[in-house]
Amino acid sequence: MSSPTELLLATFAAGLTLPLLLILWRDYRAAASARALSLLLLIAIVHLFHNQLPSAWHEWAFVAQSAAPACFWAACYYAFSDNQGERRLQWLLALHSWMGPLLFLLLDQPDALLVVLKRIPQGLEYVLILLGVWEVIRHWHSDLLEARRRLRLAVLLATGIAVGWSILSFNLDLASTESRQLAIITAFIVITACLLQGRQHLWRNGGKTPATALPDTPETQPTATINNDDDLSKLQLAMADGIYRQEGLTLRSLAQHVCLPEYRLRSAINQQLGFSNFNEYINALRIQEAAQRLQHEPDTPISNIALDVGYRSMSSFNRAFRRCHDTTPTEYRQNRLTQSCNSTFAQSSSATSQSPPALASAGFAQHPPDINH
């Protein structure tokens, strides 16, 4: 039986959660990160009101709550990863962490499957939380969106306060329900503040920003003390000198090279050029040069071009090239050479089709027909 304090805290937390859910569903349901976060918030409400539920529903509530780490990882993955490649292993872990407890309940909790369907999924919950944290911190320094950088910090704090403490204390029975509710409420307040402040930049374009396309509305920040034109000029001058070819180039090292604070350089790339990730910006420049050389230098080995523009391995070059052009460097070169040959042939054929009258006139002048016969 829950205490009045527990019920009051649960109601207060639900009151904080429902408006955010309505905003997410109304404005951003097309974004995968918003959908994953919405599901996580619903699971949090189930967790808060767990003791108020009928006892017959408790097992099903446990199953619903077991999906929280998977939703947390998915929300972090979609919100913070600009390069959303395949994560097959992570998705399998997420699926097993939730399907295991569900199957265990549907099969009437057989002892023979206790380890596979319950103990292992419990361990996977911690793995998924760590994977979610990794998605948060992985590209923090290359992130150019200030709203998303603040959200990264908020998620880390909320993870430590709420997700980690709630799951750890719940599984190991370390603390009271009220302490978990207070942790969740604190996380709600921190994350909600950051989400509402930067929501227009976090979930634009359905939650995805193309790797090299310029977003329609670059993030706006106070610019009273920033001379964006001068900053952009310094940046473009450095790029014209080819600094983007430097291996291991970071935002910090580039800022030192152009003698600008990191926040001003970050603002120039995001606001003036429209990129949301520093690595994507550098890759776009490298791939642009590589594509030109593939077309105009047919005899230069592709590996040499990849090394020249700043890639340490062919695998990373191929991934970046395919991401920009949706084809491999080899296929791109072949297609461009074929198009060039076809264009040359077409021009030659056009010129030839117009030449016979002229040739006939010339031949007539040099070898007139014999009229005596």
Q: Would you list the domain boundaries of the chain?
A: 4-207, 228-330
363 or 258, which is more confident? 258
Judged against a pLDDT cut of 90, whether residue 372 lies above it is answered with no
Q: Given this model, what pLDDT does residue 223 score?
A: 35
Judged against a pLDDT cut of 60, whether residue 363 lies above it is answered with no
Q: Does domain 4-207 have CATH number 1.20.1070?
A: yes
- Which whole number is the average pLDDT over 113-132? 92
Question: Over the chain, what is the mean pLDDT?
Answer: 79
Q: Given this model, what pLDDT does residue 254 score?
A: 94
114 or 368, which is more confident? 114
256 or 346, which is more confident? 256
89-93, 124-128, 231-235, 352-356: range with lowest mean pLDDT: 352-356
Per-residue pLDDT band for 163 (boundaries 50, 70, 90) equals low
Judged against a pLDDT cut of 80, whether residue 222 lies above it is answered with no
Q: What is the distance between the alpha carbons of residues 94 and 106, in angstroms, rounded to a whole number? A: 19
Residue 183 neighbours by CB distance under 10 Å: 20
Identical fold between 4-207 and 228-330: no
Model pLDDT for residues 249-278, shown as the tens digit of each residue: 999 999 999 999 998 999 899 888 888 889
Multiple choice CATH, 228-330, 1.10.3720.10, 1.10.1060.10, 2.40.160.20, 1.10.10.60: 1.10.10.60
Q: Given this model, what pLDDT does residue 207 score?
A: 38
Judged against a pLDDT cut of 80, whether residue 373 lies above it is answered with no
Q: Given this model, what pLDDT does residue 120 score?
A: 95
- Which whole number is the average pLDDT over 330-340? 87
Of 254-258, 335-339, 346-350, which has the strongest mean pLDDT? 254-258
Per-residue pLDDT band for 127 (boundaries 50, 70, 90) equals very high
148 or 107, which is more confident? 107
H helix runs in the chain, sequence order: 4-28, 32-48, 58-65, 68-80, 88-106, 114, 120-138, 146-158, 164-172, 177-197, 199-202, 228-240, 251-257, 262-267, 273, 278-296, 302-308, 314-325, 329-354, 356-366
3-state secondary structure 301-362: CHHHHHHHCCCCCHHHHHHHHHHHHCCCHHHHHHHHHHHHHHHHHHHHHHHHHHCHHHHHHH
Model pLDDT for residues 175-211, shown as the tens digit of each residue: 676 777 777 777 777 777 777 666 555 555 443 333 3
- Which whole number is the average pLDDT over 208-221? 37
